[in-house]
Structure 1
Amino acid sequence: MDDRVRRHAEILVDYCTEIRSGDTVLVRAPRPAEDLVVALYERIGERGAHPMTEWLNPRAGRAYARAMDAEDFATKDHALAAMRETDVVILVKASSNAAEGSDVDSAKGRASSRAKQPILQERLETRWVITQHPTPADAQRAELSTEAWADYVYGAIDRDWDGQRERQQRVADALDDADAVRLVSGDDTDLRLSIAGMTTINDGGRENMPGGEVATSPDPGSVEGEIRFDVPLYRHGREIRDVTLVFEEGVVVDHAASHNEVALTSLLETDEGARRVGELGIGMNRGIDQITDNILFDEKMGQTVHLALGCAMEECVPDDRPFNESAVHADVLADVSRDSYIEVDGEVIQRNGAFWFEDEFDETPEPGFGSATGVTDYCP
């Protein structure tokens, strides 16, 4: 077994979930991730915890969904009961065919998401983490060799997470004190939203491995403007390209995509909350330096911004602030490395992918580009 697999398991058990003696642990993984599951069991056994594995079978899931009627999907009470008895959940991604569910009717996908919502809510009460095991299928989607993809995955995972978290805290502090955020990129993105009173997450690799983003939930009624996402969105095995969303009073009132627009429409029709924004995330992991069409990595890249359509993050929304509820939480991603900036209360904190505390940050934009000048309020 590759030593990096055992190191990956060590990080998941000791750092991400801090598994202790007596913990009940659920490992949910597909068969291509068997090496990682074996390494996890070895590490979990050393901790005196009690694991069980739910082997995911995308082919079986496809067959089941195609045979079901949409109205017959319901919450699986036995799965819900098991989740209520679970302390730790480790979710592993590893594709053998990333498009396995692409020919399942969208209405069934929506029905399945709604049925799983109570189980998802219980899982969020555990100590959980989602991660990636490298496979040839995912390497192919990333347009990398199998070896290069493995190097990329482990290079993003095995990092100085204490140092990463400290660096990200500067941006988290800026957002925590802020009322308004504006995103501008090229001629097709100008989006404004309120984060007043919301809490900011500093994702230093606890619930996502790799981590590397700062995120919060906006007021769901505050989002105004238009935004274009130039990184593909994958939904139920379908690739959706060049997504454009127009918001009025927080709601998507118009949308388009150059490929699979029907799948985008289906996502937005899941429920009322699917047309609103549940998350604003800013990528900060400089160890992730290229788009690979894998959202777990791409959303952490240091020159990207993402919104999540659907459910807000509970840890970001105080009890006295509006919370967007939905059965979906779908991240859509934009590259902000060129002709772009992020304003926080009128001050630019990032321009062309560089933050104000980085050497690459240009305080003086080209004439006609951007409305704000340098940053002073958040400088040390």
Structure 2
Amino acid sequence: MDPRIRTHAEIIVDHSTRIEAGDDVVVSMPAVAEDLAVALHEVLGDRGANPVYLNNSERASRAYLRASDDEGFETPAHQLALYEETDAAIIARGGPNASEQSDVTPETNAAYRRAMRPVLDERLGTRWCLTQFPSSGHAQLAGMSTEAYENFVWDAVTLDWDEQREHQARMVDILDGADEVRIRSGEGTDVRMSVAGNPTLNDYGEHNLPGGEVFTAPVKESVEGEVHFDMPLYRKGKEIEGARIRFEDGKVVGHSAERNEAVLTGILNTDEGARYLGELGIGMNRSIDRFTYNMLFDEKMGDTVHMAVGNAYADTVGEENERNESAEHVDMIVDMSEDSTIEVDGEVVQRNGTFVFEEGFE
């Protein structure tokens, strides 16, 4: 076994989920990630935890979704009960074919997401961690050799997270207590939103591994303007390119895409909350230096911002504000490296990807 897999497992257990003796832990990952599952079970055994292992198969999920009636999905009570009794959940992505579910319709995906929302909410209430195993399928999607992709993933996972936390804390200080954020990029993006009363979180490799962003939730009905998401989104085996969304009073009132617009429409039609923003995130991880069609990495890149339609994380919504709720949470990315600014309460805090506290800011 590659020794980096054991290191990966130790970071998940000790840093990301802070496992203690007696914790009940769900480990969910595909067969290709069995080495990581084995390493995790070794570390969990060392810590005195109690794991249960779920094999997450994209092929099996595809078969089920294609065979099912959209009107027949129900929340699986046995799966809900599992997470109700779980202290921590560890999920890894990976697989031989990143496009396995490309022939499942957007309507079926939306119906299934609605039925599974109580399970997702329960899982998000645990000490959860989502990570990536460097499988050949994702290497191919990223346009990299398997070896190069392994190096990319494990270099990102084994970052000095204390140092990254300190770097990102400077942006958290700017956003905490702020009122309005304005994002401008090129001719296609000019959007304003209030973040008043909503906390800003510092993601340094806990719920997401790798981490590398700061994020908050917009006040639900405050978002105004247009956004051109000029970096692609890979969604259930289909690539959405050139997405454009227009907001009024917080709600999506117009949208288009240069490719796979129907997939974007299906996301927005999942439920009422899918037409509001649930997250504003700012990528700050300079070690992730290339786009790989994997949102777990891509949204963390420096010189980017991302916005998620759908569910807002409870920890990012202040007590006086309404939390947007949805079965969806879909991140989309804006390249901020050129002709771009982030303004906080009228002051430019990032220009062309460089933060006000970084060398080279003008």
Query: Structure 1-normalised TM-score?
Result: 0.94
Counterpart residue type for residue 168 of structure 1: Q
Q: Distance in 2 between matches of 1:237 and 1:288?
A: 22
Q: Does residue 1:75 correspond to 2:72, yes or no?
A: no
What's the CA shift for 1:191? 0.6
SS where residue 183 of structure 1 aligns? strand
Aligned to 1:111: 111
Q: Distance in 2 between matches of 1:348 and 1:177?
A: 16
Q: Distance in 2 between matches of 1:357 and 1:61?
A: 46
Q: Distance in 2 between matches of 1:317 and 1:247?
A: 20
Q: Distance in 2 between matches of 1:318 and 1:178?
A: 13
SS where residue 98 of structure 2 aligns? coil
Q: In the TM superposition, what whole-angstrom CA distance separates every residue of 1:108-145 from its partner, at most 9, and x where no partner exists?
A: 11111011110111111111100001011101111111
SS where residue 215 of structure 1 aligns? strand
In the alignment, structure 1 segments of 5+ residues that lack a partner are 363-380
In the alignment, structure 2 segments of 5+ residues that lack a partner are none
Aligned-residue Cα RMSD (Å) equals 0.8
Q: Distance in 2 between matches of 1:360 and 1:44?
A: 45
Is contact 1:90-1:128 (8 Å) kept?
yes
Note the 1:1-380 alignment, pairs <5 A: 1-362=1-362
SS where residue 361 of structure 1 aligns? coil
Counterpart residue type for residue 69 of structure 2: D
Q: Distance in 2 between matches of 1:272 and 1:236?
A: 21
What's the CA shift for 1:351? 0.7
What's the CA shift for 1:234? 2.1
SS where residue 231 of structure 1 aligns? coil
Q: In the TM superposition, what whole-angstrom CA distance separates every residue of 1:245-291 from its partner, at most 9, and x where no partner exists?
A: 01111111111111100000011000011011000000001111111
Counterpart residue type for residue 282 of structure 1: I
Q: Distance in 1 between matches of 2:106 and 2:141?
A: 22
Q: Distance in 2 between matches of 1:81 and 1:72?
A: 20
SS where residue 97 of structure 2 aligns? coil
SS where residue 13 of structure 2 aligns? helix
Counterpart residue type for residue 54 of structure 2: E
Counterpart residue type for residue 46 of structure 1: D
SS where residue 39 of structure 1 aligns? helix
Counterpart residue type for residue 30 of structure 2: P
Q: Distance in 2 between matches of 1:313 and 1:83?
A: 18
SS where residue 334 of structure 1 aligns? strand
What's the CA shift for 1:302? 0.9
Q: Distance in 2 between matches of 1:355 and 1:150?
A: 30
Q: In the TM superposition, what whole-angstrom CA distance separates every residue of 1:136-181 from its partner, at most 9, and x where no partner exists?
A: 1101111111111111111111011111101111101110120000
Aligned to 1:376: none
Counterpart residue type for residue 223 of structure 2: V
Counterpart residue type for residue 343 of structure 1: E
What's the CA shift for 1:232? 1.2
Is contact 1:231-1:293 (8 Å) kept?
no
Q: Distance in 1 between matches of 2:64 and 2:261?
A: 25
Q: Distance in 2 between matches of 1:169 and 1:157?
A: 19
Q: Distance in 2 between matches of 1:226 and 1:138?
A: 31
Q: Distance in 1 between matches of 2:331 and 2:360?
A: 27
What's the CA shift for 1:319? 2.2
Q: Distance in 1 between matches of 2:313 and 2:185?
A: 25
SS where residue 321 of structure 1 aligns? coil
Q: Distance in 2 between matches of 1:11 and 1:4?
A: 11
Counterpart residue type for residue 172 of structure 1: V
Aligned to 1:369: none
Counterpart residue type for residue 90 of structure 2: I
Q: Distance in 2 between matches of 1:173 and 1:82?
A: 38
SS where residue 281 of structure 1 aligns? strand
Q: Distance in 1 between matches of 2:146 and 2:360?
A: 33
SS where residue 262 of structure 1 aligns? helix
Q: Which runs of 4+ in 1 moved over 3 A?
A: none
Is contact 1:19-1:49 (8 Å) kept?
yes
Higher mean displacement: 51-60 or 231-240: 231-240
Q: Distance in 1 between matches of 2:347 and 2:318?
A: 25
Query: Structure 2-normalised TM-score?
Result: 0.99
SS where residue 282 of structure 1 aligns? strand
What's the CA shift for 1:81? 0.5
